[in-house]
Homo-oligomer: A and B are copies of this chain.
Amino acid sequence: MSAGTTGWPAPRPGAAPLPAALEAAVSLLRNRADASLAELIDFAGIPSVSAQTAHAPDMARAAAWLVARLERAGLQDVALWITAGHPAVYGEWLGAPGAPTALVYGHYDVQPPEPLERWSTPPFTPTVIGERVYGRGVSDDKGPLLLTVQAADALLSATGTLPLNVKFLFEGEEEVGSAHLPELVAQRAAELRADFVISADGGMWSAEFPSLTVSGRGLAALEFSVYGPARDLHSGRHGGALHNPLHAAAALVAGLHDDHGRVTIEGFYDGVQELSAEQRAGLTRLPFSDTEYVAQTGAPAAYGEAGYSTLERQWHRPTVEVNGLWGGYTGEGSKTVLPAEAHVKLTCRLVPGQHPETIAALLAEHLRTHTPPGVRLELRPSDHAAGPYALPDGHPLRGAAGQVLHDLYGTAPVEVGMGGSIPILETFKDVLGLDTVLFSFAVGDENIHAPDEFFRIPRLYEGQEAWLRLWWALGHADG
């Protein structure tokens, strides 16, 4: 590894000077730049794949790694918080009486690396190429998480204090729907008491200019299977006589949308507000080009619900997506089989006005209603769910985070939506009554959930400085 070319970035034109109280810490972080990157490479080398039971020991290893790192940073009450699933990691610093308390959220689990053959470098051997480090989880969410701990460590090392109280909560189940987090947060509500949440998970919209994400879509998930004959049959002898479960599954999937890309499930759009003229106008002012987007993704063309722009569809319109579909013979060559079963994994993205349980129930009812008599439907509801979220207009977190980005980058951030879902936003709001600002230094193009995930190394350092600035701003907002 050589981080020589990827050291601390030069200040941006127009950036506001660093508050004096942060100078020593930032100076220390500059000196630790290579060490910070080396730590990320070490952390991301642990294959903490929460979805795969074979990786349970690696999950434990990653959690233990984090515990040690929080202790080394000088935090107190550092502990593994056991859940019915993977544990969370907790640590706090409460030495600023009278100042507000920030709950810092992140997750140390990562997506499965499959398909392995599509990676250019080994997913769990993080590899520096130019100004990027490649590896599963470096962007989602190990880099953005780790930099918050490194920032606190530096400020505590340099000054012995922080401008506000901080509670770190890093979970291990974000990539599998944060199933046990609501229960944990409810049990630990007293210990987690805070004034607001700052999330290290989230991601900015673009590497070109700063953005602040102020809304996220929710999520509802469902799997279903279609069963026909009791075993695979010969498609010559039996073809035409019985319904083929793959035909039935394909028809069910195809029937979820009409020819205009609109979801056909009855009641799906109930409660969904149309975008205001102001919102639509705002989106058109963003530096976004369909042509460039399509070129970046490699898709032949953009496509979706008719009557909405690409950004409108990504951020403000709900979807139903098939994430996986399989059945029959998938090996080499031909096997003339009339398969016994077909399987489908579905997720919906939700916008304000929609509720995961309601949408999952409508989807299930739609599938039940449309299953033909020649096959049998089996529904498997998922506990992978999240409500949609929006940080209220005029919320102080929104102003503070926006100002820090303005100060750091010398330009006002754009306020953007997020197509994805962060279930914890809803959890923190419902259970603790707290609003959350997403303050991640990941960028949405960093191949998260895909092969060749990467993180931009300069943003590790920018992120450290930004978090220090944000804590400082929030710690002095009232004083």
Contact = CB atoms under 8 A, between A and B. Distances in A.
Interface of A: 51-53, 111-112, 114-115, 118, 176-177, 217, 219, 221, 223, 227-244, 246-247, 249-251, 253-257, 293-294, 297-305, 310, 313-314, 317-319, 321-340, 342-343, 345, 347, 349, 372-376, 382, 384, 418-421, 444, 447-452
A326 B326 contact: yes
A18 to B, nearest CB: 32
Contacts of A298: 229-231, 340
A227 B219 CA distance: 25
B239 A325 contact: no
A207 B296 CA distance: 61
Contact of A234 (B118, B256, B338, B450): B450
Contacts of A334: 51, 176-177, 221, 223, 323, 345, 347, 382, 384
A342 B330 CA distance: 11
Given A236-B419, A325-B326, A297 B229 contact: yes
Nearest to A333: B51
A255 B326 CA distance: 18
16 contacts: A115-B232, A231-B451, A231-B452, A232-B450, A233-B449, A234-B448, A235-B321, A235-B349, A239-B349, A239-B419, A240-B314, A240-B317, A299-B375, A300-B373, A302-B374, A324-B329
Contacts of A238: 297, 314, 419
B323 A342 contact: no
A237 B235 CA distance: 40
